[in-house]
Structure formats: structure tokens, C-alpha cells
Amino acid sequence: MSEPEGERDVHAEQFGVKHIRDVYRRGMFEDESPDFPVSFDELRAEAAERMSWQAEAYVHGGAGTEETFERNKDFSRWRIVPRMLRGVADRDLTTEVFGQTHEYPLMITPLGVQGMLDEEGEVATARACRELDVPFVLSSLSSRSMEDVAEALGDTPKWFQYYWSSDDAVAESFLDRAEDAGYEAIVVTVDAPTLGWRERLLEKGYYPFLEGEGMGNYFSDPAFRAQLDEPPEENPEAAVDHFLSIFGDASLTWDDLAFVRERTDLPVIVKGVLHPEDARRAVEAGADGIQVSTHGGRQVDGSITAIEALPEIAEEVGDDTTIFFDSGIRRGEHVFKALALGADTVMLGRPFAYGLAHSGQSGVENVLRNTISQFDLTMGLAGIDDVGEITREAVRDERTL
Ligand code: FNR
């Protein structure tokens, strides 16, 4: 596509065949076996050993019996149909999103409270993204402030995820700050009108926000601070109470999306859509993109999975809007299948969180390098040399075989 050859070569050097050759060579001739787990299950197990019980309960936790969380990861219904001898030596992984070139069709999904996983929290993840040119979406509920994270990201594409605040002054302040700090799109999460039933947290009686975790944006916000009698540094309990009183709003309807639409010129993505009619409503309400997501199975246990929802949504609005996808992405093959079923770009969640808990910035880099390499190899082995050419033809529905 539009990227100069030289740029692409730099990235190609780190991924795909080059990456696996390096791993084999180091293992065989330099006696350096990799110390970073390759499979997701192994990574999660090793990361868990390094995490506090609080972090493990928070990150791992899905809603209820975790049925949706588990099923999210099952992409097996869709079978890749590889094509041969199509000249795939020069593979183009770049993709255009809202007029900007992204190096890969992979972004970091908003995931709150990363300070529970690493001392540097979102700043460590941001540095990994900057290193590998992977776009980053920052949660409203981050441990570090949006300004700190923007600085760590430099020129790397950066978006801000917005959680509704029932206080308009704080809401406006968040949107203004995000734009001032250089965030280039606003992701509005709509699937959390109330708390989910998360048994891992309920069993322990633990909720991170009550101890002031994930308050990086609130405690630094001038509008939020102006509403407190004492600053959060002096009275954190009162500040947390105030946060809880303005966080979320179960009375919201599609008409309320206008609040965000009118207050920002940035592209707006509606995250947490699972029904084609909701996707249509989002587009009608002025959204520039929608993110198909079950919030990682953390909200409605027993719900349809994100990959089940994707094809119908793509059919309904795929021609009119940009489609993002998350929930259950663990490997490059999953990225490939989601793109084939209509996503334009895919967001990675828990794998990078476990990478962060495992070994900080370098852990996130390892996860990204492995995932992008798997994707690149899958694409090449399937006979496709351009991300834009991964279409529905590339997969078959097992149920129709
Ligand atoms: C999330 N997710 C999330 N989403 C959001 O819009 N704002 C947020 O602050 C968070 N926080 C958060 C914390 C943790 C620990 C997890 C696991 C998830 C949801 C996230 O963006 C994404 O939808 C899921 O992570 C996708 O599921 P998998 O692939 O990670 O299982």
C-alpha cells in the first residue's frame, strides 16, 4: 500500500520467518533457549505465578460461570482454506484506519488498571507499542494519566476509551484532555451500564477501584478535583467515593451518544456491540466505527460470543463503517479469521496483559511479536500477501461443510 518499502522492511525483519529462524538459531547454536512462553496457556500460567491474587482475580475474571469468556476463544467453526503458489514473498500487513496507516491490523484494546500488573502500568505497555508500532487504546480507568501515557507513546497512534461519567464537567474535561494530549479517536464503551457479576472478585470481596487503583485519569482531572473538599492525595477514600458516585449510567440510550459526538471532532468508535441493529443504531447516531466485543466475557455470562456476532454485523454495516473486533483473540490465526469475517482491525486483550505481568515492557513486546508473526505466517501460508485481500472467501463455515 502507501508505506515506503524501506519502512516495511524494518518491520518485516522482526516478524514471521525472520523471527522463528532467530529463535531456532539462538536455541541451537547459541544455547539460548527462549525464556518467554509461546502458548497463551503457558504464558497465563507463568504470569499468574508473578501476579498478586488481586491482579489475577481482576484480569482473569469473566462474568458468572465464565461460559462466554471460555467460548469467546473458540474460533474453530471457521476453517481457513489455504491457496497455493500465489507468490506471497512480499507481504503487506499495513492497513488504513480513519486515513492513517497502521503497520498491522492489530491494536491494544483498552484494559484498565495496568498498574496492578507492572509498576509502570500503561506506560510500560505504551513503550512496547511504540517499539513495535502497534496502536494503543488507553482506558479511562488507567493507573497512569492519559498525558503520561501519551508522552510514552510518542508518535504511535493513540486512542482514548471513554467510560460515561454522569457528571458532564468531568466528561467534557476527559474528552478535551484526550484531544489536547494527542489522542486521535474516542472509543465509547457501551456494554457496561452496570457492574458485571464477577465471581472471582465477589468470592474475595475485592474491587480494585475501592482501594484507589485505576484512578490515574480521575485523580489528575481538574474538573474532578474541583468537586472534592480535599485533594485525593489527602483524602483518597472521599475521592474514590466521589468517583463511584459519577461512574457509569444505566439510564443512557442511543440518543445520549450525541453528547460525545457533539463534543469531539475525533472519530468515535462504539465498543461493545453484539447485535446488527445496534450496529446500525450506532452508525445512525454518528459513530465512525463499531467494536464488536463481549468485553472479554466480563459482562453478560451466557451471551453470544463476539466471533459469532461478527459476520451478521459485518453484513449489516460493513460497507458503511469501520469494524473493530475483540474478545478471544489469543493467536495470529484468530486475527486472520476475524478479518476474514468482516473486521477491519482486531484488538488484543488478555494476552498482552499477561505479557505485562510476566515481564513488563519486554513481555508485551514478546506477545506482540509472536502474535504478529503468527498472523504474518498464517496469511502467507494461506496464499495471501495483502491484509486487504483477506475476505470471507478465505474461511469456510464448518457447519456448511
Ligand atoms: C477489560 N476491558 C475493558 N474495556 C473497556 O472498554 N475499558 C476498560 O477499562 C476495560 N478494562 C478491562 C480490564 C481487564 C482486566 C480486561 C480483561 C478487560 C475489555 C477489553 O477492552 C476487551 O473487550 C477484552 O479484554 C477482550 O477479551 P479478551 O480477548 O481479553 O479475553
Percentage helix, strand, coil for the chain under 3-state DSSP, each rounded to 5: 50, 10, 40
Cα of 139 to ligand 1 centre, how many Å?
9
Quote the ligand 1 centre to 110 CA distance (angstroms): 6
User: What's the mean pLDDT in 336-344?
Assistant: 98
| Tens-place pLDDT, residues 197-219 | 999 999 999 999 999 999 999 99
Contacts of 81 (CB under 8 A, 6+ apart): 382, 393, 394, 395, 396
Ligand 1, atom 31: nearest CA belongs to which residue? 296
All residues at 6 or more sequence positions from 237 whose CB lies less than 8 Å from its CB, including other chains: none
pLDDT greater than 90 at residue 401: no
Q: How confident is the model at residue 4 (pLDDT cuts 50, 70, 90)?
A: very low
| Percent residues over pLDDT 90 in the chain | 92
Atom of ligand 1 nearest to the CA of 61: 17
Q: How far apart are CA 77 and CA 71, in angstroms?
A: 11
List residues with catalytic annotation. 295
Distances in Å between the Cα of 325 and the Cα atoms of 163, 189, 374 are 18, 13, 18
Show the cell assigned to 373: 508473526
The residue whose CB lies within 8 Å of the most ligand 1 atoms, and thus the one to mutate among 111, 190, 218, 371, is 111
Q: Within 10 A of 208 (CB to CB), how many other CB atoms are there?
A: 20
* Confidence at residue 12, expressed as pLDDT on a 0 to 100 scale: 58
Q: Is 101 helix (H, G, I), strand (E, B) or coil?
A: strand
**In whole angstroms, what is the distance from residue 245 CA to residue 15 CA?**
46
Number of separate helices (H) and strands (E) present in the chain: 16, 12
Q: Name all contacts of 275-281 with Cβ < 8 Å and 24+ positions apart.
A: 275/309, 275/313, 276/312, 276/313, 276/315, 276/316, 276/317, 277/316, 279/313, 279/316, 279/317, 279/321, 280/316, 280/317, 281/254
Q: What is the pLDDT of residues 27-79, one digit of tens each?
A: 999 988 888 999 999 999 999 999 999 999 999 999 999 999 999 999 999 99
pTM: 0.97
Dist CA 181 CA 179 (whole Å): 5
- The C-alpha atoms of residue 218 and residue 390 are separated, in whole angstroms, by 41
Ligand 1 atom nearest 187 alpha carbon: 6
Choose the residue to mutate in 71, 72, 107, 109 for probing ligand 1, maximizing ligand atoms within 8 Å of C-beta. Answer: 109
Distance from the alpha carbon of residue 141 to the mean position of ligand 1, in angstroms? 11
Nearest to 48 by CA among 328, 369, 298, 353: 353
pLDDT given for residue 348 in this prediction = 98
245 CA from centroid of ligand 1 (Å): 22
Residue 218, amino acid: Y
Strands 186-189 and 268-273: what pairing?
Answer: parallel
Flag whether pLDDT at 11 surpasses 60: no
Q: What is the pLDDT of residue 16?
A: 84
User: Pocket residues for ligand 1 (CB within 6 Å)?
Assistant: 58-59, 72, 109-112, 139, 141, 161, 189, 271, 293, 295-296, 298, 326-329, 349-350, 353
| Residue 270: its H or E element | strand 268-273
Instruction: List beta partners, residue 107.
Output: 347
* pLDDT single digits (tens) 123-140: 999 999 999 999 999 999
Give CA–CA dist 137/401, Å, rounded: 38
Selection from 357, 304, 48 nearest residue 200 by Cα: 48
Mutate to test the pocket of ligand 1, among 52, 207, 298 (most ligand atoms within 8 A of CB): 298
Q: How far is the CA of 349 from the centre of ligand 1 (A)?
A: 6
Percentage of the chain lying above the pLDDT 70 cut: 97
Name which of 70, 81, 140 is nearest 111 in CA terms: 140
Residue 307 pLDDT greater than 80, yes or no = yes
User: Can you give the pLDDT at residue 345?
Assistant: 98
C-alpha separations of 381 from 317, 338, 343, 377 in Å = 30, 17, 20, 6
Summary mean pLDDT of the chain: 95
Quote the pLDDT of residue 335.
98
Q: Whose CA is nearest to atom 17 of ligand 1?
A: 59
In ligand 1, the atom with minimum distance to the C-alpha of 113 is 13
What pLDDT is recorded for position 2? 42
Rounded CA-CA distance 179/173 in Å is 10
Residue 363 has what pLDDT?
98
What is the predicted pLDDT for the residue at 8? 47
